[in-house]
Structure 1
């Protein structure tokens, strides 16, 4: 499940991934991405993982398609998690986007939220 939280700045997407992500979860973010792009802004994404189990194959494919279609429109991505493989997710994403990507341990959550907004 992908939970979308309130947007504090007009170009920041704030999400929490819980369990396994499916195609419908990724599709929920698409309108938000296009709203930001229609304003001529770059996308900043705060992606927190809580008991995150990854993607099912359709969700993973949809996520890759969105990332590839908008690779130049991402400015920053904050990956927040508590398991070592969450850091791997951040490293895996780097070739698919021009964004600055940083991994933050869940204990650094407030630092990640500040970083994504500045």
Structure 2
């Protein structure tokens, strides 16, 4: 499930994902990101993962291709998670983002949000 957080405004997208990530979830996420990228020089992303049990592999691959194509349009990106595979995922996706991805543990989510919103930790 994809939840748009209230910190979303201007060129910032803040989302929380829980449980299962489906193709419609990824499609919704990519459409929002694409719209922000068309309107802004850089788009900053806060991506929080909580209790994620399953991710549709086809959607994950499509999302990875989107990131490769649009990597230079990303600004500050923070991924917040609670599992080792999430940290590895952030490290892998970081290679195609303009400024990389900063990974934070779930306990440090306020720090991650501050980085995305203000650029400082």
Q: Give TM class, smaller chain.
A: 0.7 to 0.9
Could you tell me the TM-score, scaled by structure 1's length? 0.87
Q: CA deviation at 1:63?
A: 0.9
- Contact 1:43–1:73 (Cα < 8 Å) also in 2: yes
Are residues 34 and 99 of structure 1, via their aligned partners in 2, closer, same or farther at CA, if it must alter by over 3 Å? same
Give the equivalent residue in structure 2 for 1:47: 47
- Contact 2:22–2:56 (Cα < 8 Å) also in 1: yes
Give the equivalent residue in structure 1 for 2:113: 113
Matched residue SS, 2:75: strand
CA shift digits 1:41-73 (9 cap, x unpaired): 311110101011342122112211221221110
Instruction: Flag structure 1 segments of 5+ consecutive residues without an equivalent.
Output: none
| Paired positions, count | 118
- Contact 1:22–1:58 (Cα < 8 Å) also in 2: no
- Contact 1:17–1:49 (Cα < 8 Å) also in 2: yes
How many Å separate the matches in 1 of 2:10 and 2:43? 9
Give the equivalent residue in structure 2 for 1:71: 71
Instruction: Flag structure 2 segments of 5+ consecutive residues without an equivalent.
Output: none
CA shift digits 1:59-118 (9 cap, x unpaired): 112211221221110112111112222211211112232233111111111101101011
How many Å separate the matches in 1 of 2:86 and 2:117? 21
Q: Is 1:103 aligned with 2:103?
A: yes
Moved more, 71-80 or 30-39: 30-39
- Contact 1:23–1:62 (Cα < 8 Å) also in 2: no
Q: CA deviation at 1:25?
A: 0.7
